[in-house]
Chain A
Amino acid sequence: MAKFESSNQVARNSPVKAYFIHHIRTLISSLGFLTRNGLSTVMTMTVIAIALALPSGLYVFLTNISHVSVGWDNSAQISLFLKSDVTEKQAQQLVKKLNLYEDIKTVKLIHKDDALEEFQRISGFGEALESLGKNPLPHVIAAQPKIDPQRADKIQHLLKELRNLKEVDIAQLDLQWVKRLYSMLEIAHRGIWVISVLLALAVLLVVGNTIRLDIQNRRAEIEVTKLIGATNAFIRRPFLYSGLWYGLSGGVLAWILTSISIGLMENSVEQLASLYNSGFQLQGLYFNEAMTLIGFSCSLGLLGSWIAVSRHLHEIEPS
């Protein structure tokens, strides 16, 4: 017993060191294996990259829309229609008072004469209005809330407060369309999640299937190494590293693909933006977002190969 167990003890690495050395060896040799299978590796890599570039492209698209709409938040404004007997002076005092409100960003008085003038100009009812003799319009104060439009409760609270002011007849919040936009963006976000999950599943299957084929191609090798005394962990390792490499390369390629696509669209978007007198610029993936993408891709690669390995490796036993 003693001899049988101890005959191999000399000049072996300590178990921990041996473990790390073996991991690094496998890391490099699995990379070598993948590069030797050039074409099929590139194809697998590209499939993963495309599957990941699609949701990341959509994500970038949506992030950009959100950026544009950040400017629109401000246009959520509260219109205060003052009572018809409120004088210009009283209205100006109210403006001063509202300026002190914490939740209000800007306040603007629209004089009833100005409003009438504008209305006459735009509506085409000019003559009809003139026949009234007297300006039927009240003074209006346009107040811009300094509140996240998502926080409907806070806005409603402000609105209620403004309604209770004695000078105010009607306080109207013009927020509906912003809400609609946000719920549309929300749907789009969910959509991206659904697409991402489906495509992540596809990546998992692609990696899993590729690793399964690798396992089958290396059947003889697996049998021989098992006979020589390799543990299952030892045999599993190169396949797991292959999965990791697939994930890593696919993730990096997905990043590159997304960046190229954005680069291709940049000019046209800037042209469009300049037509709207906007300095808007298309924003690609931030570095940390790209790292998340690559990390996610690596995990998918590893998970896919893990599934394939745990399903197929134990089927191969020497006979």
Chain B
Amino acid sequence: MIHFDNVNKRYPGGHEALINLSFHIPRGQMAFLTGHSGAGKSTLLKLIALIERPSRGNILLDGINLSQIKNSKIPYIRRNIGIIFQNHHLLYDRTVFDNVALPLIIAGYTHNEVGKRVRAALDQVGLLNKEKVAPITLSGGEQQRVGIARAIVHKPGLLLADEPTGNLDPELSREIMELFARFNQVGVTVLIASHDLDLIGQMQRPVISLKDGLLVHDDLAEMTSHG
């Protein structure tokens, strides 16, 4: 699903965020991306979401070479990715329902279908009774779950999460992770960047570790070589 091939990312000013990164995450896999802050986790996710472009190397997403995607085609790639941010990125001038509906509106779903899918997504994150509420009145964990509902409402093939539990207590974090695991069970590829090693340990999923832009550990590579 995600294929990195000798990827380098150098920011203007000379900072090397990622150095010669190669790995492969198969379809339907749930994996963690870990490392200290500044190790390059966010940069890696940004490259997949086409927020940044690599300085060198190729990234294949579901067989599509991202370096060949023109800027005008980026939106169509992003529509198949659900992105979850640490700080939720919700729109506070509209209701929970309208926030979650946004990807469907963009993709041009019918009015009835939007209603059905938004409620299904809110049901999955346990916020069905909050659809008419303004996001600002919700707790941090609930806001994060609205963000997750928005990321999965259009049933993307890939879910990216950047420190999704960064501001949550352990119990809530655990719930959020369980949620991701459930999506993974229905076939969604999930990649979660996190530095919460305790939580990652509990989840027992493959881990990719970065340090100063270098790949220092890759469970997935070991799995393939052993099996």
| Residues in A lying within 8 Å of B, measured CB to CB | 1, 3-5, 7-8, 11-13, 15, 18-19, 21-22, 25, 220-221, 223-232, 234, 317-319
Contacts and interface: CB of A to CB of B under 8 A. Distances in A.
Interface of B: 27, 49, 51, 61-64, 72, 75-81, 83, 89-91, 93, 102-103, 105-111, 113, 150, 154-157
Contact of A229 (B90, B106, B109): B106
A12 B78 contact: no
A227 B111 CA distance: 22
Contacts of A319: 51
B79 to A, nearest CB: 4
Contact of A8 (B62, B75, B80, B111): B80
Contacts of B107: 8, 12, 229
Contacts of A1: 62-64
- Across chains A and B, which 4 residue pairs bring their CB atoms closest together, nearest first? A18-B108, A229-B79, A229-B78, A4-B62
Which applies to chain A's interface (DSSP): helix, strand, loop or mixed?
A: helix
B25 to A, nearest CB: 14
A220 B91 contact: yes
Contacts of B89: 220, 223-224, 227
B106 A11 contact: no
A288 B106 CA distance: 39
Contacts of B64: 1, 4
A317 B108 CA distance: 22
Contacts of B76: 229
B65 to A, nearest CB: 11
A3 B157 contact: yes
A224 B91 contact: yes
21 contacts: A1-B62, A1-B63, A4-B62, A4-B80, A4-B157, A7-B155, A8-B80, A8-B155, A12-B107, A12-B109, A12-B113, A13-B109, A13-B110, A21-B111, A221-B91, A221-B93, A224-B102, A227-B51, A229-B81, A234-B106, A319-B51
Nearest to A230: B106
Nearest to A10: B113
Given A220-B91, A229-B103, A319-B51, A11 B109 contact: yes
Contacts of B109: 11-13, 18
B105 A25 contact: yes
Contacts of B63: 1, 4
Nearest to B1: A4
Contact of B108 (A5, A13, A224, A228): A13
